[in-house]
Structure 1
Amino acid sequence: MTSVRYEVSDRRAYVTLDRPDRLNAIDDSMPAEIAAAVDRANEDPDVTVIVVRGEGRAFCAGYDLKIYAEDESGRWSQGPVWDPIKDYQQMKRNTDDFFSLWRSLKPTICQVQGYAIAGGSDIALSCDLVVMAEDAKIGYPPARVWGCPTTAMWVYRLGAEKAKRMLLTGDTIDGVTAAEWGLVAEAVPAEDLERRVEELADRMAGVPINQLAMQKLMINQAYENMGLHSTQVIATLFDGITRHSPEGRWFKEFAETHGFHAAVAHRDAGRRIPDGGGPIPEP
């Protein structure tokens, strides 16, 4: 593994996103490595609980758009003729890799410090329980342009109105608000984050693995009956469209011309993305 670190201790498997110099941004290797780590933990009889965390200052700052947005031949932006199925196959594979955390027979706890934004929020919200530092931030800023959350977990965790509040603005919220809204299980002071996650893992570690698996399967089945899989299919297709719409191509060209950080600053400042594209302004 090059982007994820896997360790086992005291009946826990620790899956650590390990690109701290890039705030654990998602590269081509990370999604499959997360899934491989989950498989490994599920096959290990000495593991009861999986803890997902990020090395350094942040949990995960989303896809590494220094790679994907600034490169003219970036993986997630095809040429003038877009093949939606090719795009869907690639992104659905990543979505399924993230969602291995949800479908894991063993419970998954996500520990969030710093940021869990964009694709990082997809990873976090695929876990069974999320514990955030009170000052950490979670959100999906690419909802403004160039993205749609492929796991679709915002609506399943928040309900329609608050999911719209987040995805129609691309805003982020802190851990305290996320816990108040029911998006995450708890928010605690940053200095208590690891301790609280370990307390939850301790509590679960005393339950037989088959009991944990049956409770998860029962709860997850209710969500499947609500159409979770079909919602993810639509969300993943929409994600590809957002990156190849006129506005999405405009954003990509802006990033190629002025750099990803300038493009994000334009997006997050609330400045208008020109309908149908338009001239690329100075940042």
Structure 2
Amino acid sequence: MSVVSYEKDGRIARIALNRPEVMNAINDELPVQLAEAVARADSDPDIHVMVLSGNGPAFCAGYDLTFYAEGNGSGEVTQPMPWDPIKDYSFMWRNTQHFMSLWRAMKPVICKVHGFAVAGGSDIALCADLTIMSEDAQIGYMPARVWGCPTTAMWVYRLGAEKAKRMLFTGDKITGREAADMGLVLKAVPADQLDDVVEEMAARMATVPINQLAMQKMVINQAIEQTGMLQTQRLATIFDGITRHSPEGINFKKRSEEVGWRQAVAERDEGTWDWTANEELPKRNR
């Protein structure tokens, strides 16, 4: 079954992450199929706007850690030492570029977030042109605590330096309401209004000629790209590989294999584990 679904609805292309049984967690196929769906909509002369969503209880819960942390995935996200940084970079850079297909598409993309858009899922959501969340949804990049660096670097482009640091120095999750107040996303609305608000925005944009939409998007994106986005993303992708092969990153991987990723993630997010010493933190240091 396709892990990304596609539907043409008049002038709107509806793209949905489609691994609901694991909250649309990212596996090897999902980034590829996402980029293919975006390219399909972008090349269709009838489509004016794309709406990206997630099927099931969440938009996207990040990378599938059963696949990548407990196991090792086909991309070998943690390699035996000495590790090959170019092999790692090539794997993650491909995924980053697949996510960035949302940004590079000529036509605008609205991302609709319910449930969670966390870790790698936040990378996807923040590459869209407009992101609208339900007020009770949560967004964050928890791997900033250990075992990750957001490769698209969209946090800083959406928030500015200080607020991006606030999020990535802690790895905290925030609600849609907080994300909207912070300026991370366009708006947050009550969960029962999310579909209607997104549909209203998509319908309004769909009345604009494609060339007008494309030109506005290109001008605005160019202003941001001129600041050095490509170089920042390359550095972030390199650092993402280093985080998984640092002593702390390797200890997180070992811990995931020993106790399962759910417990290892809880220890990471709650700050109860010393990843340098690979032991429980004393209560006074938490």
TM-score by length of 2: 0.95
CA distance in structure 1 between the aligned counterparts of 2:280 and 2:272, rounded to whole angstroms: 13
The structural deviation recorded for 1:271 is: 1.9
CA distance in structure 2 between the aligned counterparts of 1:173 and 1:73, rounded to whole angstroms: 29
Tell whether 2:206 aligns with 1:195: no
What residue in structure 2 maps to residue 48 of structure 1? 48
- Closer, same or farther in 2 for the Cα pair 1:32/1:73, shift >3 Å? closer
The structural deviation recorded for 1:279 is: 5.4
What residue in structure 1 maps to residue 27 of structure 2? 27
Q: Which amino acid aligns with 1:90?
A: F
Q: Which amino acid aligns with 1:86?
A: K
Q: Which amino acid aligns with 2:267?
A: H
Tell whether 2:59 aligns with 1:62: no
SS of corresponding position for 1:116 = strand
- Closer, same or farther in 2 for the Cα pair 1:176/1:240, shift >3 Å? same
What residue in structure 1 maps to residue 258 of structure 2? 257
Unaligned 5+ segments in structure 1 are none
The structural deviation recorded for 1:73 is: 6.7
CA distance in structure 1 between the aligned counterparts of 2:103 and 2:14, rounded to whole angstroms: 16
CA distance in structure 1 between the aligned counterparts of 2:237 and 2:218, rounded to whole angstroms: 24
CA distance in structure 2 between the aligned counterparts of 1:149 and 1:239, rounded to whole angstroms: 7
SS of corresponding position for 1:61 = coil
**Equivalences, count:** 280
Q: Which runs of structure 1 show a deviation greater than 6 angstroms over 4 or more consecutive aligned residues? A: none
The structural deviation recorded for 1:119 is: 0.2
What residue in structure 2 maps to residue 244 of structure 1? 245
Tell whether 2:184 aligns with 1:183: yes
How do 1:112-261 residues align onto structure 2 when only pairs under 5 Å count? 112-261=113-262
Q: Which amino acid aligns with 2:64?
A: D
> 114-123 or 64-73, which moves further after superposition?
64-73
SS of corresponding position for 2:128 = coil
The structural deviation recorded for 1:2 is: 2.1
CA distance in structure 1 between the aligned counterparts of 2:72 and 2:180, rounded to whole angstroms: 39
Unaligned 5+ segments in structure 2 are 282-286
After superposition, what is the alpha-carbon deviation per residue over 1:52-109, rounded to whole angstroms, capped at 9, x for unaligned? 0000110000000011000157621111111111100110000000000011100000
1:6 and 1:15 in contact (8 A); partners too: yes
Q: Which amino acid aligns with 1:191?
A: D
What residue in structure 1 maps to residue 284 of structure 2? none
1:72 and 1:256 in contact (8 A); partners too: no
CA distance in structure 2 between the aligned counterparts of 1:229 and 1:100, rounded to whole angstroms: 13
SS of corresponding position for 2:100 = helix
Q: Which amino acid aligns with 1:62?
A: G
CA distance in structure 2 between the aligned counterparts of 1:101 and 1:227, rounded to whole angstroms: 18
TM-score by length of 1: 0.96
The structural deviation recorded for 1:270 is: 1.2
CA distance in structure 1 between the aligned counterparts of 2:73 and 2:102, rounded to whole angstroms: 31
CA distance in structure 2 between the aligned counterparts of 1:69 and 1:43, rounded to whole angstroms: 36
Across the aligned residues of Structure 1 and Structure 2, the Cα RMSD in angstroms comes to 1.3
CA distance in structure 2 between the aligned counterparts of 1:131 and 1:82, rounded to whole angstroms: 39
What residue in structure 2 maps to residue 14 of structure 1? 14
After superposition, what is the alpha-carbon deviation per residue over 1:259-283, rounded to whole angstroms, capped at 9, x for unaligned? 00010010011124332x44589xx
SS of corresponding position for 1:69 = helix
1:250 and 1:280 in contact (8 A); partners too: no
CA distance in structure 1 between the aligned counterparts of 2:47 and 2:194, rounded to whole angstroms: 22
SS of corresponding position for 2:165 = helix
Tell me the percent identity. 60
Q: Which amino acid aligns with 1:7?
A: E
